[in-house]
Amino acid sequence: MQPFRDVDNPVETTERARTQRGEDALWTVIGRLYRRRMLIIGVTGFVAVSAVIISLLLPNWYRAQARVLVPESQGSGLSSAILGNLPAAASALLGGGPGGDYTRYLAILTSRSVMTAAVDSFDLIRLYEVEGKLTPLDDAIRRLRDNSDFDIDMEYDFLSISVLDKDPERSAAMANFFVRKLNEVNEKLSTESAGNYRRFIEQRYFEARADMDSVLNATQRFQQEHGVYDLPVQTEAFFEQVAELRQTAVEAEIRHEALLAQYGSDNPQVRSVLELARAANRKYAEALAGEEMLLPIPQADVPGVARQFTQLELERTIQATILEVLGPLYEQARFQEERESQAVQVVDAATPPARKAKPKRSVICILATLTAFFLAVGFVLVYEWWRRNHRQYFHRMKDITSER
């Protein structure tokens, strides 16, 4: 029956043969490993014991962490009152807007000046044992940067400053040192920046004041020369006065014509009304000629005077607007220069940690043991394969060499 099934179902026969070869190979490998079990156990045990001993000899490292926040408002109190009525762009220019990122603080913390100060303050060249190096300061700074972490938590918006060191007291002191240096350097930079900004705003403010004085002087001369103080109001009143004069003259002329037709030219009343009409027309002509105090300029000169008046008013309005913005900016710049600037607020000061951060001795021992076991197994398998096949490969190499 068996040969008949093999002929009718060759696929099943092939699968069985493949499975049988796989099982034979697996048992062969297991047998080889079993024969070399003492080597595998010995290597694995030796490495495991060595890992335990070495991990126990490794010094403990402690990580201290400080947590800080950016102050909610860099401009409060008087600053906010000064900036209250400024346009949004001007307010944002002085930090009146919300927010603030940590990029500036990371740049300060990782700067060479701050790192050098930490190295000098804690004598890290000696502690890191780099006195004999070619560049001991650079090596100490590099080691300090490796042992320091400045992380930003984007979810809760805080900055953590952590330092690794073999001494828990020193690790906490170094973390708090970074916080102090951050505030000191930020205050120095902010004062310098505020001073430069204040001097720029001060110069521009006094230039605007001088320009405003020039405009006011030009306006005063214009008023003295033309007698124009408020052209729109004076013009409106002038036109009303001219209309009244013209109306009086027309009424007198009409009345004169009526009386003339009724009484003749020799009548005293007719002559009186005629004089009244002449006086009204004379006043009307004098007003048009610019002889009235209400608008003492000739009618022909009104367009030119109006243009000068408009230019002066435009320049005065521009300068007044500039001063309206620069005045609060100048006061705010003086305030910013004089006040103390605090970079961050300390939420949690660093304290000496009670537990070590590294080494993870259990992880070291487990990884070393597993690595040694797999390397020993791999070595045994490779060695057994080579022991059984090296002669065959040597013969092939000799045949290839002889053929050439």
> Within this chain, do residues 118 and 174 fall inside the same structural domain, yes or no?
yes
> Within this chain, do residues 146 and 45 fall inside the same structural domain, yes or no?
no
Q: Which of 84-88, 138-142, 298-302, 358-362 has the highest mean pLDDT?
A: 138-142
Question: Is there a domain that residue 108 lies in?
Answer: yes
Question: Is there a domain that residue 338 lies in?
Answer: no
Question: Is there a domain that residue 354 lies in?
Answer: no
pLDDT band at 10 (very low <50, low <70, confident <90, very high): low
pLDDT band at 205 (very low <50, low <70, confident <90, very high): confident
> Within this chain, do residues 46 and 66 fall inside the same structural domain, yes or no?
no
pLDDT at position 170: 92
Query: Do you know the residue count of the chain?
Result: 404
Residue 34's CB: how many other CB atoms inside 10 A?
Answer: 10
> Within this chain, do residues 69 and 198 fall inside the same structural domain, yes or no?
yes
Question: Is there a domain that residue 330 lies in?
Answer: no
Is pLDDT at 4 greater than 60 in this prediction? no
Report the candidate in 168, 139, 377, 305 with the shortest Cα–Cα distance to residue 296: 305
Question: Is there a domain that residue 286 lies in?
Answer: yes
> Within this chain, do residues 87 and 202 fall inside the same structural domain, yes or no?
yes
CATH of the domain at 159: 3.30.1890
Question: Is there a domain that residue 23 lies in?
Answer: yes
> Within this chain, do residues 194 and 71 fall inside the same structural domain, yes or no?
yes
Residue 127 belongs to domain spanning: 62-212+344-348
> Within this chain, do residues 379 and 394 fall inside the same structural domain, yes or no?
yes
**Residue 256: burial class (beta carbons within 10 Å; 0-12, 13-18, 19+):** buried
Q: Using one digit for the tens of pLDDT, what is the confidence trace for 283-314?
A: 666 655 544 544 455 555 556 666 666 666 67
Q: Using one digit for the tens of pLDDT, what is the confidence trace for 43-58?
A: 888 988 988 888 788 7
pLDDT band at 220 (very low <50, low <70, confident <90, very high): confident
> Within this chain, do residues 179 and 70 fall inside the same structural domain, yes or no?
yes
Q: Using one digit for the tens of pLDDT, what is the confidence trace for 306-354?
A: 666 666 667 777 778 877 887 888 787 777 666 655 667 788 788 888 8
> Within this chain, do residues 231 and 254 fall inside the same structural domain, yes or no?
yes
Report how many domains make up the chain.
3
What residue has token string 């033309």? Answer: 226
SS3 string, 183-247, reads: HHHHHHHHHHHHHHHHHHHHHHHHHHHHHHHHHHHHHHHHHHHHCCCCHHHHHHHHHHHHHHHHH
Q: Using one digit for the tens of pLDDT, what is the confidence trace for 120-133?
A: 999 999 998 888 88
pLDDT at position 357: 78
Is pLDDT at 20 greater than 60 in this prediction? yes
> Within this chain, do residues 230 and 311 fall inside the same structural domain, yes or no?
yes
Is pLDDT at 93 greater than 60 in this prediction? no
Question: Is there a domain that residue 376 lies in?
Answer: yes
> Within this chain, do residues 71 and 191 fall inside the same structural domain, yes or no?
yes
> Within this chain, do residues 266 and 207 fall inside the same structural domain, yes or no?
no
Residue 122 · residue 174 · CB < 8 Å? yes
